[in-house]
């Protein structure tokens, strides 16, 4: 599975951003897909990742991390083969590098993902 993320940027606290991720490759619809993030200033390490949201291409399952539940919404566009993360009421603690990722089965922790896109930076100023 190949993943290409876009949409990061700088926003003030209380603002909104939308991340998008284009998926491709063989049988990518078999994969659960979602977003994970890592706080800045830390070397890339799956153990430092925070699982943000996951879903599947059937649209019958979504899950959110406790820190973003009620503020972030994950959705898929099957016609465009994209998964989006709508982020609202952003806080400075949401500042991180956000990764789009995919994996087989239920994703409970970031290490359950087997395919990763490049990260996109989200910075929330206070």
What helix, strand, coil percent values describe the chain, rounded to 5? 10, 50, 40
CB atoms within 10 A of CB 65: 16
Residue-wise pLDDT for 75-103, tens only, equals 999 999 999 999 999 999 999 999 999 99
Can you tell me the distance from the alpha carbon of 118 to that of 22, in angstroms, rounded to the nearest whole number? Answer: 11
Instruction: Answer yes or no: is pLDDT of 116 > 90.
Output: yes
Residue-wise pLDDT for 23-52, tens only, equals 999 899 999 999 999 987 766 676 788 999
Residue-wise pLDDT for 15-30, tens only, equals 999 999 999 998 999 9
Task: Note the pLDDT of residue 42.
Answer: 66
Task: Note the pLDDT of residue 48.
Answer: 80
Q: What is the mean pLDDT of the chain?
A: 93
């Amino acid at each position: 599975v190949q993943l290409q993320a876009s949409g990061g940027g700088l926003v003030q606290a209380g603002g909104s951003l939308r991340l998008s991720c284009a998926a491709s490759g063989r049988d990518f619809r078999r994969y659960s897909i979602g977003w994970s993030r890592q706080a800045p200033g830390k070397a890339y390490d799956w153990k430092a990742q925070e699982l943000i949201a996951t879903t599947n291409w059937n649209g019958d399952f979504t899950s959110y991390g406790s820190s973003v539940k009620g503020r972030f919404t994950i959705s898929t566009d099957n016609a465009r083969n994209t998964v989006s993360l709508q982020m609202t009421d952003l806080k400075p603690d949401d500042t991180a590098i956000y990764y789009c990722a995919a994996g087989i089965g239920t994703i409970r922790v970031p290490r359950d993902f087997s395919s990763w896109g490049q990260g996109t930076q989200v910075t929330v100023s206070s």
